[in-house]
Amino acid sequence: MVSRHLAKGLLWGFLILGFAYGLHHLLELRFQAGDTYPPYSTLRTDPVGAKALYDGLRSLDTLTAVDRNHRPLNRLDSDRLTTFFLGVRLGDLAFASKEDLEDIERLALTGGQVVLALYPVNPDAFMSDLLDGPALDRDEDENEDSEKEPVQEEAPDPADKKGEKAGGKDSSKNQDGKKDADPAEKKDGAKKDTKDEKDKEDKESLMGRWGLDWDSDPDWGRLDAHYARSDQPGLPPRVSWHSALFFTELDPAWRTVYRRGPRPVMVARPWGKGRLIVAADSYLFSNEALRNERRPELLSWLVGSGTRVIFDETHFGLVDQEGVASLGRKYRLGGLLAGLLILAALYIWKNAFSLVPPKAEDLDEGGDVLTSPRDYNAGMVSLLRRNLSPRDLLAACYKAWQGSGAAKGPDLGDRPLRAEQASRDPAFQTDPVGGYRAIHRIIWEGRKPWTQKPSA
């Protein structure tokens, strides 16, 4: 019965909804753990994340806006803005492009404050962290070398051999008696020199623009080396430090805020109308630090006098991709989408099941199949009325008879030709019933009716 089909459909619907809810709950738990995001991301909730700092700043009434940035830096408005770059890899900063450095500088030039905190480094992994930035360039170079066609050596010219034999010396040697380098080796050497010069220019561009360099502390194993000290008024005199990185060759414009022993680990300098702050460690911004070693005075000084705070997530690779889903969230089209889904479900339900319960007399003897009060002949008549006009009805009937076996009898004579002429008679186009009777008489004239039995 219909109620049985309806119950089956509702059961499947509930099963699908339950499965979708369970899958969503599992994904939500996975993302709530936070370990899917990079360390020191404000989307991460475990000890190495920075979501506690983000949520804490959002609860302050003195700040008008605290947001995450997933767009290019050149789209940010830097007026009274403090921008945090947390967990920056040393290689990414060392080999940053000129455009990236200009975007960071622009945030400080117009009066903003930029806080750039590096990912913690230990002495053993110092060089590997430094080379994280150009790893992509190395892979591209290796691919180019592998795709490079092998150099085919040309066959020596007999005339050249003859000249070499006559001259009594090797033509591959130059005037100083040294053998010339192979052209392929020259090309590879020139390419390597060009890459080394490019890396050197990238490193020098950062040192030349900002006036600072870095190194790894060889005394990291000492007990007191895990703390940084400051003599700045209003700041905590000692904070926990978890990185062996420190700054060297500082420009006179830089002011040391914290140092570990004699080595600067947090420095600041004015930049245009704003300020640029670079820290060699990001631990003090982590959820673990805010739980165990909270330093509100230092965090307040880092936020500065700005009324807006932005935590950049693009350097982690978390960039918004404009698509249909993101545009729907942006313009709050979730309700419209839900309404369309409900309408689609109702349309499918309407075509699958009748919304009106059937009458008792419409059920057949078995009670499972619905029947219509109209028979098949009525359906055929309705179909013919929709597809044939009265003028074409007689010709269509004759054509159907002509294609049957009754029109191929040997005793018909000229009656099929006369019947065809009658079907085309204009007088019968307005009276198809009279035309049908006339054709019937023509075909059956001289024949015995089929109801008449043959005589004995």
- The per-residue pLDDT for 300 is 93
- pLDDT, position 233: 92
Give the confidence band of 139 by pLDDT, cuts at 50, 70, 90: very low
Is the predicted pLDDT of residue 175 greater than 50, yes or no?
A: no
Average pLDDT on 403-429 reads 74
Task: State yes or no: pLDDT of 440 exceeds 90.
Answer: no
Question: Nearest 5 degrees, angle CA 160-CA 163-CA 165?
Answer: 110
pLDDT in tens, 362-389: 555 444 444 555 566 777 777 777 777 7
74, amino acid identity = N
190 pLDDT above the threshold of 80: no
User: Which of residues 299, 320, 341 is at a domain's end?
Assistant: 320
Query: Which is more confidently placed, 118 or 79?
Result: 118
What residue numbers bound the domain in which 93 lies? 34-134+193-320
> Residue 431's pLDDT band (boundaries 50, 70, 90)?
confident
pLDDT surpassing 80 at residue 192: no
Identity of residue 10: L
User: In this structure, are 290 and 418 located in the same domain?
Assistant: no
The reply to whether 423 and 288 lie within a common domain is no
**Between these two residues, 242 and 223, which has the higher pLDDT value?**
242
Residue 326: inside a domain: no
Is the domain of 312 the same as that of 400?
A: no
More confident residue, 325 or 156: 325
For residue 365, the model assigns a pLDDT of 47
Predicted pLDDT of residue 423: 78
Out of 19-28, 223-232, 305-314, 360-369, give the one with best mean pLDDT.
305-314
Residue 31 neighbours by CB under 8 Å, 6+ apart: none
List strand residue ranges (DSSP E) for 208-273, in order: 213-216, 227-229, 238-240, 245-248, 255-260, 263-271
- Phi and psi at residue 296, to the nearest 5°: -65, -30
Q: Which pLDDT score is estimated for 313?
A: 92
Q: Yes or no: say if 51 and 37 are a contact pair by the CB < 8 Å rule.
A: no
| Cα–Cα distance for residue pair 128/138, rounded to 1 Å | 13
Cα separation, 63 vs 66, in Å, equals 7
Closest CA to 78 of 49, 36, 107: 107
Which pLDDT value is given to residue 404? 74
pLDDT in the model for residue 154: 44
Q: Read off the tokens for 304.
A: 């500065």
Structural domain contains residue 27: no
Domain boundary, last residue among 259, 285, 320: 320
Q: Identify the domain boundary among 266, 289, 320.
A: 320
Q: Can you give the pLDDT at residue 162?
A: 43
Same-domain check for residues 405 and 304: no
Q: How many CA atoms lie within 13 A of 430 on its CB side?
A: 2
Quick: pLDDT tens for 39-76. 999 998 889 999 999 999 999 988 999 999 988 888 88
Please provide residue 269's backbone torsions phi and psi, each rounded to the nearest 5 degrees: -155, 150
pTM score, whole prediction: 0.56
Specify if 244 maps to a domain. Answer: yes
Letter for the amino acid at 73? L
Domain count, the chain: 2
> Based on the domain organization, do 125 and 214 belong to the same domain?
yes
Task: Assign 145 a pLDDT band (cuts: 50, 70, 90).
Answer: very low
Could you tell me if residue 294 is inside a domain? yes
Residues 120 and 214 in one domain: yes
Q: Is the pLDDT reported for residue 167 higher than 50?
A: no
Mean pLDDT of 405-430: 74
Same domain, 286 and 420: no
pLDDT band at 456 (very low <50, low <70, confident <90, very high): very low
Q: Are 113 and 277 in contact (CB under 8 A)?
A: yes
pLDDT of residue 383: 74
Does a structural domain hold residue 186? Answer: no
Confidence of residue 317 (pLDDT cuts 50, 70, 90): confident
Locate tokens 């890899």: which residue? 89
Would you say residue 241 lies in a domain? Answer: yes
So what's the pLDDT on residue 364? 52
Domain identity same for 114 and 230: yes
Residues 6+ apart with CB under 8 A from 54: 42, 66, 68, 311
User: Given a cut of 80, is residue 140 above it in pLDDT?
Assistant: no
Report which secondary-structure segment, H or E, holds 87.
strand 81-88
Asked if residue 304 is part of any domain, the answer here is yes
Check whether residue 107 and residue 202 sit in a common domain. Answer: yes
> In this predicted model, which residue has the larger pLDDT, 156 or 7?
7
User: Of residues 11 and 56, which shows the higher confidence score?
Assistant: 56
Q: In what order do the strands lie in the sheet with 113-118?
A: 65-69, 308-312, 81-88, 113-118, 274-279, 263-271, 255-260, 227-229, 238-240
C-beta separation of 251 from 212 below 8 A: yes
Task: Mark whether 231 and 116 lie in a shared domain.
Answer: yes
Residues 305 and 416 in one domain: no
Residue 16 lies in a domain: no
Write down the pLDDT at residue 253.
94
pLDDT at 51: 93
Mean pLDDT of the chain: 75
In whole angstroms, what is the distance from residue 206 CA to residue 95 CA? Answer: 8
Q: Measured between alpha carbons, how far is 312 from 305 in angstroms, rounded to an integer?
A: 19
Choice between 217 and 404, residue whose per-residue pLDDT is larger:
217
Give yes or no: residues 231 and 311 share one domain. Answer: yes
